[in-house]
């Protein structure tokens, strides 16, 4: 028999412990709110740690020189990583973008240290299972762990769940995937490769030839003809390989489980191709996951969605609470990727209203869950930008509890600047 449901109360509750959720929780706590963060895994970091997406995109804009466009809590995480010996110097990639390569274990520990130092109460190994509404507000959420059910009341909530689970439970109007018949962007299983000879640089022409030969007879060809993303990782000398793309709904356990099983099979099959490359003869799989890297599922409708026009024209706004600078990276199907540059000064302002869902007044959106159209989503979904939107969502939530429920963009911008964010 399960124990009776417990009940606790906070000022702000954040659902999701990735870049957006962690930034939201720290931002809320620093604004004076008693804050709890709910995370289904036993560690924080989101896609960087639970899917081995070991690269931060969106801290820096495109260009020959790296110009930082996200700071605040995101920069605090990088500072914690540097204290652990991780080099966070941006790396220029062959796609023309600047990224920061990561070590998964250092990333987990950096998040631990930062959130605990901010006095955020962590509810790890806990999954959202229900929401209780009171009119146009959320009164409480119900989470489950192995002990049982726990009701958590709060004055404001932040959806940083990635799949917009809190929004879905709350009755927010949602769009699944893209408008019309366009498919969801495919998922990717990042694979960490060890056993690579030191100072090895992949010969892309040779790799392409090997893939062409493999694909002639393979029942499941490698969709990325150029071999996909290969990134040297700090400390270990391992290589992050992103070439295993496949379609999945991304929401049901059945769909995701089948996709992950298929992805692991593909990773082992593709490894044979990699071992044909000079320096990779003794390559082996260090780890995958533990979960598939999901790009797209549900989109909550916000008061003012970020649009492709915002990105293409690099629009500025007096309501801006953070900057999007990653190009619009849209994966139309497995292996089919298009980057569209950001206009203007190389970044656009994300308006406060994109964090405000329609119909629920004490809920804030963060990370992949903010309001956006499909093209703009290709830019705002990355983790660097998620730090910015999460930070703003957490501070907005805290301000709404401390004073007027209607937080002005000016007040939010002022509070973010005091916490060293870039707006």
- Please give the pLDDT value at position 129: 99
Mean pLDDT over 22-33 rounds to 99
| pLDDT value at 86 more than 90 | yes
Q: Tell me: pLDDT of 328 over 90.
A: yes
| Mean of pLDDT values over 62-86 | 97
pTM, two decimal places:
0.97
pLDDT at 177: 66
Mean pLDDT computed over 193-208: 96
**Which two three-digit tokens encode residue 70?**
């996200």
Give the residue extent of every domain in the chain.
6-179+296-418, 187-288
Cα–Cα distance for residue pair 390/395, rounded to 1 Å: 9
Question: What residues form DSSP beta bridges with 92?
Answer: 98
Question: What is the C-alpha separation between 93 and 392, in angstroms, rounded?
Answer: 29
Structure tokens at 118: 């901010």
- pLDDT tens per residue, range 222-254: 999 999 999 999 999 999 999 999 999 999 999
Measured on CA atoms in the order 95, 19, 105, 254, is the torsion positive or negative?
Answer: negative
Contact between 322 and 70 (Cβ < 8 Å): yes
Query: Who wins on pLDDT, 177 or 31?
Result: 31
Contact 13, 143 (CB under 8 A): no
* Under 8 Å between Cβ of 365 and 371: yes
Provide the mean pLDDT of the chain.
Answer: 96
Residue 179's pLDDT band, with cuts at 50, 70 and 90, is low
Dump pLDDT digits (tens) for 276-320: 999 999 999 999 989 999 999 999 999 999 999 999 999 999 999
The pLDDT of residue 403 is above 90:
no
C-alpha span between 313 and 104 (Å, rounded)? 35
Cβ proximity of 333 and 183 under 8 Å: yes
CB 68 within 8 A of CB 422: yes
> Which CATH code, of 3.30.70.2740, 3.50.50.60, 3.10.310.30, 3.90.1300.10, is assigned to 6-179+296-418?
3.50.50.60
Residue 2 has pLDDT above 80, yes or no: no
At residue 212's C-alpha, the angle toward residues 210 and 214, to 5°, is 70
């Amino acid at each position: 028999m399960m124990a009776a449901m417990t009940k606790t109360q906070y000022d702000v509750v954040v659902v999701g412990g990735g870049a957006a959720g962690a930034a939201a929780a720290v931002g809320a706590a620093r604004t004076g709110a008693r804050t709890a963060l709910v995370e289904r895994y036993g560690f924080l970091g989101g896609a960087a740690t639970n899917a081995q997406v070991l690269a931060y995109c969106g801290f820096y804009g495109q260009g020959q020189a790296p110009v930082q466009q996200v700071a605040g809590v995101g920069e605090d995480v990088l500072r914690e990583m540097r204290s652990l010996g991780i080099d966070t110097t941006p790396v220029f990639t062959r796609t023309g973008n600047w990224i920061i390569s990561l070590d998964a274990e250092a990333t987990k520990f950096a998040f631990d240290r930062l959130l605990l130092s901010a006095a955020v109460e962590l509810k790890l190994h806990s999954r959202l299972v229900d929401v209780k509404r009171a009119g146009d507000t959320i009164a409480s959420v119900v989470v489950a762990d192995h002990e049982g059910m726990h009701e958590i009341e709060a004055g404001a909530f932040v959806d940083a769940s990635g799949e917009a689970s809190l929004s879905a439970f709350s009755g927010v109007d949602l769009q699944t995937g893209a408008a019309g018949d366009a498919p969801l962007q495919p998922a990717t299983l990042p694979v960490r490769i060890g056993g690579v000879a030191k100072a090895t640089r992949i010969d892309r022409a040779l790799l392409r030839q090997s893939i062409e030969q493999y694909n002639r007879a393979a029942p499941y060809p490698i969709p990325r003809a150029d071999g996909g993303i290969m990134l040297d990782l700090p400390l270990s000398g391992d290589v992050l390989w992103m070439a295993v793309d496949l379609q999945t709904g991304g929401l049901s356990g059945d769909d995701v489980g089948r996709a992950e099983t298929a992805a692991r099979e593909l990773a082992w099959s593709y490894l044979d191709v990699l071992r044909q490359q000079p320096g990779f003869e003794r390559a082996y799989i260090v780890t995958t996951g533990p979960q598939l890297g999901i790009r797209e599922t549900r989109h909550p409708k916000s008061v003012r969605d970020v649009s492709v026009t915002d990105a293409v024209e690099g629009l500025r706004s007096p309501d801006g609470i953070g900057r999007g600078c990653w190009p619009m990276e849209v994966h139309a199907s497995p292996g089919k990727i298009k980057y569209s540059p950001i206009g203007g000064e190389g970044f656009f302002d994300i308006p406060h209203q994109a964090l405000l869902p329609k119909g629920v007044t004490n809920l804030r959106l963060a990370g992949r869950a903010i309001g956006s159209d499909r093209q703009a989503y290709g830019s705002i979904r990355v983790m660097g930008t998620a730090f910015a939107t999460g930070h703003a969502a957490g501070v907005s939530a805290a301000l709404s509890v401390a004073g007027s429920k209607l937080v002005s963009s000016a007040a939010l911008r002022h509070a973010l600047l005091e916490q060293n964010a870039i707006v």
